[in-house]
Chains A and B, each alone.
Chain A
């Protein structure tokens, strides 16, 4: 059976690419420390020596639209082109092409449907920065095939937080039952407190540092019970109007497992939002 060699949860900050590649007067003062933290985080994936990446993210109204909106969708294609005109325009993100691990996509779809998740699928998916940001930060050589998993954290009505956790638990079980000898890393990105298009946007910190502190604690300690007790679809409006992206972190807590402390935790307090980086090694300790 396949082995889950690392579980990684991260924020996806679309400005990292431009900040980390800019030079001279264009380079922001926070870039060097940000690069140092990302490179240390990257090492936690490199050390796990994965063959395949399952990548959880959320389309930002790029390919998925309100006339036909899935809640959970699996990409099943041999290739995924990536990044969109408005991401090039606003963030300077590059065009990319990522290989797909189509047999694992097929397995997750079939077994996921049979496990009670009515998953949508796409055979031609152009992925966006929710998946390319972690490729840029964690695997910039872009040499591994992926299985994209898209969740709806964006266009209400949304699934309940517990459903994200359950999907994470199911993805973990499915990857571990995949009849293959591949080493799989499961990577997901979301947000801590975040406001976009509202009065609290682009402040010197995330809109709700207290929520961020508690969220990092939930994730770092694997406190799924505590997190699920406090987090509801309504409660997530309070820390910032885009904070429903935190449910992708909850999905990754489901992948990592209840009570499972993260083996690597780092944060970086930036303008606009707090960056947060977590890695678990399911087989105990660093590989």
Chain B
């Protein structure tokens, strides 16, 4: 089994993509906001929260974190196959997208199985998720 393949895009801000998924997923209001307005939420979050170190006040924020264009488009488009290809952590993506879209499916696991189908073109080795 070879090592995971290099993920697509620059990969410089894979951590930041994960940070977006992580901080949205743990906040019920943000989950709804991201579902209803993905473009606006991503733009607002990148401007206001991308550089915020968790547990630190804003006077101690980082100065250098930003999405690249591919990452921003994938998040703004709710494009979970693209996030997979970029090497976003699959558990974070899955958990958040279940929270947003499972409700739109009548069958048990309907969304989860659609999710698998939309990734069916992916084969091993999967994109590297190391940050």
Contact = CB atoms under 8 A, between A and B. Distances in A.
A235 B54 contact: no
A237 B126 contact: yes
B131 interface: yes
Contacts of B113: 202
Given A67-B53, A90-B98, A241-B126, A154 B91 contact: yes
A86 B26 contact: yes
Interface string A156-179: 110000000000000000000000
Contacts of A61: 22, 89, 91-92
Contacts of A67: 53-54
Contacts of A157: 130
A87 to B, nearest CB: 9
Contacts of B19: 66
A170 to B, nearest CB: 27
Interface stretch (A193-201, A261-269, A274-282): A193-201
A198 B28 contact: no
User: What band does the interface of chain B fall in when counting residues whose beta carbon is under 8 Å from A?
Assistant: 35 or more
A80 to B, nearest CB: 18
B109 A65 contact: no
A127 interface: no
21 contacts: A66-B131, A67-B54, A86-B25, A86-B26, A90-B95, A90-B99, A154-B91, A155-B131, A156-B129, A196-B90, A196-B91, A197-B84, A197-B90, A197-B93, A199-B119, A201-B116, A202-B113, A237-B124, A237-B126, A241-B126, A242-B91
A201 B120 contact: no
Q: List 4 tightest A-B contacts by C-beta distance, closest first.
A: A197-B90, A197-B94, A199-B119, A156-B130
Contacts of B123: 199
B125 interface: yes
Interface in B98-131: 98-99, 109, 112-113, 115-117, 119-126, 129-131
B124 A196 contact: no
A18 to B, nearest CB: 11
Nearest to B14: A66
A225 interface: no
Interface stretch (B1-9, B40-48, B71-79): B1-9
User: What band does the interface of chain A fall in when counting residues whose beta carbon is under 8 Å from B?
Assistant: 20 to 34
Nearest to B22: A61
A90 B25 CA distance: 11
Interface of B: 1-4, 15, 18-19, 22, 25-26, 28, 53-54, 80, 84, 89-95, 98-99, 109, 112-113, 115-117, 119-126, 129-131
A238 B93 contact: no
B54 A241 contact: no
Interface in A235-283: 235, 237-238, 241-242, 271
A241 B84 CA distance: 12
B54 A65 contact: yes
Contact of B2 (A196, A234, A271): A234
A241 B4 CA distance: 10
A60 interface: yes
Contacts of B4: 237
Contacts of A202: 109, 112-113, 116
